[in-house]
């Protein structure tokens, strides 16, 4: 068995692990990276990248069949589902060199393509390698959670991992789970020509502001998506091409294919964490504010750390622990400035506190500013007026922003910057946005905050009157 000593051992070659490995090795640390499966992890191979590529195909098909409002005849798109999957594969192939073993070895990282397991607090075995490290980073990500629904073990189903192998378009796709993955793939398949039914035990898009989520859900229903909310799946039965999902109220939903998208579970199996003194929780590995585990020489980042499960969070975590591991500086992770987006159309995005959370935390000091897309000239020009931006403000500073509408995922970036840097609404109001852009919505929301103070204030009117009387 080969014995290796290194400064940093990274377990997992997804977005978080790769960010740590690249950053650390380029700053002078010796780094070993373990990845037994695909470089790039879930995001590149099964999640963010392929899903957005398929959404792009679906968006194109929808535009073709809804062109009449722009003075162009509607046409029925001829969808080739297998070719759309080829498009997905091509997108992945264009991005994967950045995450490849060859690139990281070129940077100086020792890449070992095998599973790792702890044999002591500072030693991990991977195949024929025994690696001792000064610091270890667990970045093993998460996998689709498969719920214990009666009959599911005997019925063919797909997850976000196996969906990309499917070449024959589903005639009627049943989706168990109304979260971001379920709703994105539901709308994509609907626009590509499948019938789609979503079965959700609680509220669809339940982690987002209910008012904003409803804007999106209304649009999805208008497109023909069947959404059964408050419907817990009780039993699944049938065979390939003829599947039934029965809910607790006795309703039976019939379809040809079944996508299970009810959440994700942290990948901790096989790591032998107990041998390293590392504790876990129901959601993942237990970490403190600095992302250290109960073994202070070991960090956990990204999905496996049990918090927000987004690629950009894993990248953020990487930056937090590099500061600590390489420079010995105190560094803590926060979620207050972390945005997220759901890439349905319209999109749904959030950063900071929702309205309900902000009311609970700030009480009477809170002001909620609202601005509708229907007042944005670019949105009107592009027939994308279905949407709302809502900003939660306390003591003149935004503490949260919720957006539902065209390019919400792009618009939320500004508010993430504002909240991260504790900026004031006056600084947003002073920004000049090019006209006409969807981005003007952010400035107009800030303007809506100041409008009552300027245009409805008797004091302001008296001051203006006095100045006008004496101004030469």
CATH number for the domain including 344?
A: 3.30.390.30
Are 32 and 130 in the same domain?
yes
CB 225 within 8 A of CB 58: no
Does residue 47 lie in a domain region? no
Are 127 and 17 in the same domain?
yes
pTM over 0.85: yes
- Residue 244 annotated as lining a ligand binding site: no
Least Cα distance to 324 among 292, 281, 287 occurs for: 292
Confidence (pLDDT) at 1? 87
pLDDT, one tens digit per residue, over 245-264 is 999 999 999 999 999 999 99
- Residue 405 annotated as lining a ligand binding site: no
Are 133 and 276 in the same domain?
yes
Does residue 60 lie in a domain region? no
pLDDT, one tens digit per residue, over 174-200 is 999 999 999 999 999 999 999 999 999
Does residue 203 lie in a domain region? yes
CA distance 84 to 56: 9
Are 136 and 11 in the same domain?
yes
Following DSSP, what letter does each residue of 258-325 receive, concatenated?
Answer: EEE-S-EEE--TTS-GGGGT--B-SSSB---TT-B-SSTTEEE-GGGGTS---HHHHHHHHHHHHHHH
CA distance 25 to 31: 6
Does residue 365 lie in a domain region? yes
Confidence (pLDDT) at 463? 67
CB 138 within 8 A of CB 154: no
- Residue 181 annotated as lining a ligand binding site: yes
Which tokens sit at 300? 């956990």
What residues in the chain have per-residue pLDDT under 70? Answer: 453-458, 460-466
Cβ neighbours for 467, distance < 8 A, ≥ 6 positions apart: none
What Cα–Cα distance (Å) separates residue 375 from each residue in 379, 412, 441, 445? 8, 18, 9, 11
Are 127 and 16 in the same domain?
yes
Confidence (pLDDT) at 457? 62
- Residue 140 annotated as lining a ligand binding site: yes
Q: What is the CATH number of the domain that holds 308?
A: 3.50.50.60
- Residue 64 annotated as lining a ligand binding site: no
Quote the percentage of the chain above a pLDDT of 90: 94
- Residue 141 annotated as lining a ligand binding site: yes
Confidence (pLDDT) at 76? 96
- Residue 182 annotated as lining a ligand binding site: yes
- Residue 459 annotated as lining a ligand binding site: no
Q: How many domains does the chain have?
A: 3
Does residue 333 lie in a domain region? no
Are 109 and 156 in the same domain?
no
Q: How many residues does the chain have?
A: 472
Does residue 91 lie in a domain region? no
Are 178 and 269 in the same domain?
no
- Residue 284 annotated as lining a ligand binding site: no
Are 166 and 136 in the same domain?
no
Does residue 64 lie in a domain region? no
Are 350 and 301 in the same domain?
no
Confidence (pLDDT) at 230? 96
Are 161 and 309 in the same domain?
no
Are 203 and 279 in the same domain?
no
Query: Which range of residues forms the domain containing residue 413?
Result: 339-455
- Residue 303 annotated as lining a ligand binding site: yes
- Residue 179 annotated as lining a ligand binding site: yes
Are 259 and 270 in the same domain?
no
CB atoms within 10 A of CB 171: 12
């Amino acid at each position: 068995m080969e014995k290796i000593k290194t400064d940093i051992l990274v377990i997992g070659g997804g977005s978080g692990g790769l960010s740590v490995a690249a950053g650390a090795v380029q700053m002078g640390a010796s780094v070993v990276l373990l990845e037994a499966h695909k470089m790039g992890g879930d995001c590149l191979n099964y999640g963010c990248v392929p899903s957005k590529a398929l959404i792009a195909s679906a968006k194109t098909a929808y535009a073709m069949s809804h062109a009449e409002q722009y003075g162009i005849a509607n046409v029925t798109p001829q969808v080739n589902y297998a070719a759309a999957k080829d498009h997905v594969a091509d997108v992945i192939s264009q991005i994967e060199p950045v995450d490849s073993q060859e690139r990281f070895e070129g940077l100086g990282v020792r890449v070992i393509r095998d599973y790792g397991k702890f044999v002591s607090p500072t030693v991990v075995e991977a195949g024929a390698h025994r690696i001792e490290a000064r610091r270890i980073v667990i970045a093993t990500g998460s996998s689709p959670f498969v719920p214990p629904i009666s009959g599911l073990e005997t019925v063919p189903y797909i997850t976000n991992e196996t969906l990309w192998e499917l070449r024959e378009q589903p005639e009627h796709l049943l989706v168990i789970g109304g979260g971001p993955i379920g709703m994105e793939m539901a709308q994509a398949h609907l626009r590509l020509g499948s019938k789609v039914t979503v079965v959700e035990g609680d509220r669809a898009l339940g982690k987002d502001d209910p008012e904003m989520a409803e804007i999106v859900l209304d649009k999805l229903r208008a497109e023909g998506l069947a959404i059964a909310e408050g419907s817990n799946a009780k039993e699944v039965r049938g065979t390939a091409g003829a599947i039934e999902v029965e809910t607790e109220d006795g309703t039976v939903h019939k379809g040809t294919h079944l996508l299970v998208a009810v959440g994700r579970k942290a990948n901790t199996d096989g790591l032998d964490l107990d041998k390293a003194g590392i504790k876990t929780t129901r959601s993942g590995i237990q970490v403190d504010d600095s992302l250290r585990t109960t073994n202070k020489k070991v960090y956990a980042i990204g999905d496996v750390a049990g918090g927000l499960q987004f690629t950009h969070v894993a990248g953020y975590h990487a930056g937090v622990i590099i500061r600590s591991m390489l420079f010995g500086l105190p560094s803590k992770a926060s979620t207050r400035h972390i945005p997220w987006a759901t890439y349905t159309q319209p999109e749904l995005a959030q950063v900071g506190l929702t309205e309900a959370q902000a009311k609970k935390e700030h009480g009477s000091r809170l002001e909620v500013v609202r601005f509708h897309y229907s007042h944005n000239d670019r949105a009107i020009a592009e027939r994308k007026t279905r949407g709302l931006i809502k900003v939660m403000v306390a003591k003149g500073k935004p503490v949260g922003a919720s957006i539902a509408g065209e390019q919400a995922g792009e618009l939320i970036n500004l508010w993430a910057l504002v909240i991260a840097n504790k900026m004031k609404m006056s600084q947003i109001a002073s920004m000049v946005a090019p006209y006409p852009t969807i981005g003007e919505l952010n400035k107009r929301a800030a303007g809506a905050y100041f409008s009552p103070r300027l245009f409805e204030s008797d004091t302001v009117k008296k001051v203006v009157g006095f100045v006008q009387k004496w101004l030469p």
